[in-house]
Structure 1
C-alpha cells in the first residue's frame, strides 16, 4: 500500500484516524544509525510502526524493529515525542493518519539484518552520511534530534 506524507501542507487531506506509533533510532557500537528503505514511498526511514492493543509503546518499538530489520534491540532512551496535527500520512486505502509517534533510542542486542516486506534495503549509516539520503522531513527531524544529543524533543 502506498503512502504520502504531508507536513504543514494546506493541500493535505484531513486526518480521519489517530494511531499511537513508535519509531526507533538504533545505534551500534560504532555510532552508526540503522535505516530501512521503505517499499511504500522509496524513502529511507527509521524502523517503527503502529502499536497493537495489549502492548506498550516500548514493546511496540522492539517488535517493529525486529519485524522490519531482523534485529533485537534494547531501549536505552527517548529521542522525542512527535504529535504535529499538521503532519498526516495519506494511504492508498483512504486512511489519513495524524502523526502520533514516540521515538526511542535503542542499541542492537541480537539478530541479523534482513529485508522485510516493508523495505527494499536495511543497513547501517554513519551519522554524517544520512544528510544525503532521501528521507521525509518527519524522519529527518528525528535523526537530527538524536544527533543533537540534547534533551528529548517534543514536536
Structure 2
C-alpha cells in the first residue's frame, strides 16, 4: 500500500520535487465537534483536504475534498490560515513525489450527509473538541487545528 510520510526539519528528508496548492477544512457541527478522518495512507487523524485541481476555486476544492473523504457536504465559512513551511516535506511512496507543504486551511459547516469512509479515509467521525488533542496526527495538522481552537492570531500566515 502506498504511504504518506511527513518530515519536519529533518536532514534525512528527501529534497522536495513538487509544490501543490492544497486545502484543508475544519468543519464543525452545531455542538462544536470537528469532522475528522483517519487517513488510509498513514493511519493518522486529520481534517479533510487535498489538492486544488486546475480550473477549481479554493472553496470549490474544499467542498469537493470534504464530501469525497467524509460523505459530508459543507459550506465554507472562513479562513484559519495559510501553511507553506519549506521545512515540512511530504513523501508519497507510490510515486516518489516529495512535496513541500502548501495548504490553505478553511472553516466550514455541514449542510447534509453522514460520515462515510472512502479510499482515503478508513474512519470518519465527529470528534469533540476536548478529545482532538489525544488523537495521533502529524505535527503540522495538530498545529493547524490548535490555531483554529485557540483563535489567536488568525488568520495564520506561514
Report the TM range for the smaller structure's normalisation.
over 0.9
Deviations 1:48-80 (A, max 9, x none): 000111101111110000000001101000011
Partner residue of 1:51?
52
Structure 2 length normalisation: TM-score?
A: 0.96
What is the rounded CA distance, in whole Å, between the counterparts of 1:56 and 1:138 in structure 2? 23
1:100-142 per-position Cα deviation (integer Å, ceiling 9, x unaligned): 1000000001111100011110001111101110000111011
CA deviations on 1:10-51 (whole Å, 9 max, x unpaired) are 211100000000000000000000110000000001100001
SS in 2 for 1:85: coil
2:15 aligned partner? 14
Q: Secondary structure at the match of 1:14?
A: coil
Q: Alignment partner of 1:41: what SS?
A: coil
- Match for residue 30 of structure 2? 29
Q: Which runs of 5+ in 2 are unaligned?
A: none
Cα deviation, residue 152, structure 1: 1.0
Aligned match of 1:88: 89
**Could you tell me which residue of structure 2 aligns to residue 130 of structure 1?**
132
SS at match of 1:58: helix
- What count of residue pairs does the alignment treat as equivalent? 155
Compute the TM-score of the two structures, normalised by the length of structure 1. 0.98
The alignment partner of 1:138 has SS state of helix
| Partners of 1:55 and 1:127 in 2: CA distance | 31
Match of 1:69 in 2: 70
Instruction: Give the RMSD, CA atoms, in angstroms.
Output: 0.7
Query: Structure 1: how far apart are the matches of 2:4 and 2:66?
Result: 20
Match of 1:146 in 2: 148
**Partner of 2:66: helix, strand, or coil?**
helix
Residue 133 of structure 2 aligns to a residue whose secondary structure is: helix
1:98 is aligned to 100
What is the SS of the residue equivalent to 1:134? coil
Moved over 4 A (4+): none
